[in-house]
Amino acid sequence: MATTTIQPVERENYLNKEYGVGSWLFTTDHKRIALLYLISITFFFFIGGFFALLIRLELLTPASDLVQPDTYNKLFTMHGMVMVFFFLIPSIPAVLGNFLVPMMIGAKDLAFPRINLLSWYLYIIGGVMMLHCMLTGGVDTGWTFYTPFSTAFSNTKVVEAGLAIFVAGFSSILTGLNFVVTIHRMRAPGMTWSRLPLFIWAHYATSIIQILGTPVIAITLVLVVAERTLHLGIFDPKLGGDPLLFQHLFWFYSHPAVYIMILPSMGVVTEIIACFARKRIFGYSFVAFSSIAIAVFGFLVWAHHMFVAGISIYAALVFSILSYAVAVPSAVKVFNWTATLYKGSIHYDAPMLYAFGFIGLFTMGGLTGLFLAALGIDVHVTDTYFVIAHFHYIMVGGALMGYLGGLHFWWPKISGRLYPEGWARLAALIVFLGFNLTFFPQFVLGYLGMPRRYADYSHMPEFQVLNVLSTAGATVLGVGYLLPMLYFLWSMRYGKPAPDNPWKAAGLEWMTSSPPTTFNFEQEPIVTWEAYNYDELDTGHKQEVKVVG
């Protein structure tokens, strides 16, 4: 990398080009907006995490002694709402995606920079509404808003929470819209679809879900709010409505929303594995299309959340079989990542440790999904801690692991500084161990029959041992999440300046300076190479690529 050796100390970049609050709040630079998102979602992550910690502390003992049941109900509701709508859904797309999508395809910015800023403001407005809702009493419906509890029975701030999520939803829609248009229209000359990094494919698939799924939850929340304030009967059986219709509409979005969280994470992990195995990804096109397949199939499976809700058993059969269809492309991805390591030259830097952690936890989360999609087993384990454990393996073990891995991987590019490698490896290890200690016992609890959303289990003392283990794990996990925040902050001031390409990674984002300039590239790049050309990077010339089998 001859072009990256010159390193003047104060080169102009997107961070030091302008100073002052206004230069941030009115910026249209996708990288600055990404940082605005980074700060805001980190804030919400720690709020959601605080709720989680209180939940775990309450469950340390069977009796409801730390908080009252109604407080507990608000805690898990707001934990869910904050983590899902204000952390996980924006996490990778709005931070890493915002920062990297234009750079990876060789564009100067997203197609609609002002809409990008608008979507951050929508997120903030939604976030402030959510905070206001939480500070003035909170909401206790569960993040699922099931009717008729939410529309006719709960006496908490349902309307406020619904509107907050409605507004934040538009932020997500606009981000997705921006990505799709950018990926279609803004690719640099030579950047064909088959040369796109798989991170881009993953974000493209994610955007499809954001664009087509989010409006449905938006209108559903409008109906809930209207029903609650005007006493309509659309979901209320007392007035002739059907509460299951709400569940259909809710899960039509909220199941695909899981893929909004996990697909970008898969994209991140793909980049990391390719880099630290120094290899082209095994089966590039299969990995790319499996992202699209997951996004599309993800829309066909929603009612597997409703197998015991009173839906028709024939519909249940259809949704069960379709749920297995979505498992195939997920399995394909795991196999391809594993195969990529074959005959690689593997480095164990911190991002790679996160990627390994991701594969392990995602595999377990995915396989337990097979249990839940099996109709007969779902009857027993749905609405128990088995489900809690399963989706935390996917969303925390998967999505969050990927997010942290990506943050480490691109931190030198984002901040222009290196983080302390030793601490980072330690944090990865702590997160992995803490995570398993927290959530593995919950699989057992779930099969034993402990229902979710129970503030008090004093009549079931047999559940306590596993709950204690889980709470112990949660504290470890908490430390694991605090560490990266501390050393990232530390590195911004004391970290060593990062070279342009510290990992010698492939991809356009590594060919510009660290941190990049405002328009990303000094000159518009022309792409003449395939994605993941690690052979050229490591040897300076193209190797013969083998096709096995």
Partner 1 sequence: MSDSTVVGLHDEEQHHPELLHHFAEPQQQRDAASLGMWIFLATEVMFFGGLFCAYLIYRRMYFGDFGAASKSIDATLGATNTAVLICSSLTVVLAVWAAQTALRKLLIGSLVITMLLGMVFLGIKAKEYKDKFEEHHVPGASFSFDHVPIPGHPGQYANPRHAEIFFSLYFIMTGLHALHMIIGLGLFAWLLFMAWKGRFTPEYHTPIEIGGLYWHFVDIVWIYLFPLLYLIDRHP
Partner 2 sequence: MFDNFPLWPERASTAAGNVDALFIFLLIVSGLMTLLIFTALVYFAARYRHRRGVLAEQIEGSTPLELTWSVIPFFVFMAIFAWGAAVYFKGRTPPRDSTEVYVVAKQWMWKLEHAEGQREINELHVPVGRDVKLIMTSQDVIHSFFVPAFRMKQDVVPGRYTVAWFHATKAGTYHLFCAEYCGTQHSGMIGSIVVMEPSQFEAWMNGGTTGPLSVSGEKIFAELGCVTCHRGDAQGRGPNLQGIFGKPVQLENGRTVTADENYIRESILDPGAKIVSGFKPVMPTFQGLVSEEQLNALVAYVKSLSHSLATPTGTAAATAQDNSKAPGSAPGSQVQ
Partner 3 sequence: MYFSVWAALLLGTFITYKVAYIDLDRFNAAVALTIATIKALLVALFFMHIKGAHEKLLKLVVISTLFFLFILLVLSMADYGTRTWS
Q: Applying CB under 8 A, which residues contact partner 3?
A: 184, 208, 212, 216, 244-245, 248-249, 252, 299-300, 302-303, 311-312, 314-315, 318-319
Residue 215 contacts which entry, partner 3, partner 2, partner 1, none (Cβ below 5-8 A, type-dependent): partner 1
Tokens representing residue 189 in the block? 């000359």
Q: Which is nearer to partner 2, 459 or 493 (CB)?
A: 459
Residue 320 contacts which entry, partner 2, partner 1, partner 3, none (Cβ below 5-8 A, type-dependent): partner 2
Cα 505 from Cα 499, distance rounded (Å)? 12
Q: Which stretch binds partner 2 (CB under 8 A): 3-11, 165-173, 315-323, 413-421?
A: 315-323
Q: Is 100 exposed, middle or buried (0-12, 13-18, 19+ CB in 10 A)?
A: buried
Residue 62 contacts which entry, partner 2, partner 3, partner 1, none (Cβ below 5-8 A, type-dependent): none
Instruction: Find the binder of partner 2 among 64, 220, 467, 501 (CB under 8 A).
Output: 64
CB of 13 to partner 2, least distance (A): 31
Q: Which stretch binds partner 1 (CB under 8 A): 16-24, 139-147, 205-213, 254-262?
A: 205-213
Q: Which is nearer to partner 3, 300 or 433 (CB)?
A: 300
Q: Segment 166-225, which members bind partner 2 (CB under 8 A)?
A: none
Cα 104 from Cα 100, distance rounded (Å)? 6
Q: Which stretch binds partner 1 (CB under 8 A): 92-100, 141-149, 241-249, 485-493?
A: 241-249
Q: Which is nearer to partner 2, 46 or 454 (CB)?
A: 454
Task: Give yes or no for a contact between 511 and 3, defined as CB atoms under 8 angstroms apart.
Answer: yes
Q: Phi-psi bin for 137: left (phi > 0), alpha (psi -120 to 50), beta?
A: left
387 Cβ neighbours under 8 A, 6+ residues apart: 372, 381, 446, 452
Task: Annotate 397-432 with DSSP letters as a single string.
Answer: IIIIHHHHHHHHHHHHHHHSB---HHHHHHHHHHHH
Residue 299 contacts which entry, partner 3, partner 2, partner 1, none (Cβ below 5-8 A, type-dependent): partner 3
Within 10 angstroms of residue 334's Cβ, the number of other Cβ atoms is 17
Task: Give yes or no for a contact between 365 and 331, defined as CB atoms under 8 angstroms apart.
Answer: no
Within 10 angstroms of residue 426's Cβ, the number of other Cβ atoms is 16
Residue 113 is a binding residue for partner 1 (CB under 8 A): yes
Cα 169 from Cα 25, distance rounded (Å)? 21
Q: Which stretch binds partner 1 (CB under 8 A): 246-254, 286-294, 312-320, 487-495?
A: 246-254
Cα 547 from Cα 549, distance rounded (Å)? 7
CB of 308 to partner 1, least distance (A): 20
SS3 state at 451: strand
Q: Segment 505-544, which members bind partner 1 (CB under 8 A)?
A: 511, 519, 521, 523-529, 533, 536-537
Task: Give yes or no for a contact between 104 and 182, defined as CB atoms under 8 angstroms apart.
Answer: no
Residue 502 is a binding residue for partner 1 (CB under 8 A): no
70 Cβ neighbours under 8 A, 6+ residues apart: 140
- Residue found by looking up tokens 């219709």 in the block: 245
Q: Segment 438-497, which members bind partner 1 (CB under 8 A)?
A: none
Cα 105 from Cα 179, distance rounded (Å)? 11
CA-CA-CA-CA torsion for 190, 183, 402, 326, nearest 10 degrees? -110
Instruction: Find the binder of partner 1 among 226, 374, 418, 429 (CB under 8 A).
Output: 226
CB of 22 to partner 2, least distance (A): 45
CB of 483 to partner 2, least distance (A): 24
Within 10 angstroms of residue 135's Cβ, the number of other Cβ atoms is 9
Cα 262 from Cα 418, distance rounded (Å)? 27
Residue 541 is a binding residue for partner 2 (CB under 8 A): no
Residue 320 is a binding residue for partner 2 (CB under 8 A): yes
Residue 249 is a binding residue for partner 1 (CB under 8 A): yes
CB of 61 to partner 1, least distance (A): 43
Would you call the peptide bond into 515 cis, given omega within 30 degrees of 0 as the criterion? yes
Residue 318 contacts which entry, partner 2, partner 3, partner 1, none (Cβ below 5-8 A, type-dependent): partner 3
Q: Segment 1-20, which members bind partner 1 (CB under 8 A)?
A: 1-3
Q: Which stretch binds partner 1 (CB under 8 A): 93-101, 170-178, 358-366, 480-488?
A: 170-178
Residue 489 is a binding residue for partner 2 (CB under 8 A): no
How far apart are the two ends of the chain, measured CA to CA in Å? 34
Q: Which residues, in sequence order, are bridge partners of residue 451?
A: 384
Task: Give yes or no for a contact between 208 and 180, defined as CB atoms under 8 angstroms apart.
Answer: yes
Chain positions contacting partner 1, by CB under 8 A: 1-3, 107-109, 111-113, 115, 173, 177-178, 180-182, 184-186, 189, 211-216, 218-220, 222-223, 226-227, 230-234, 239-242, 245, 248-249, 252, 511, 519, 521, 523-529, 533, 536-537
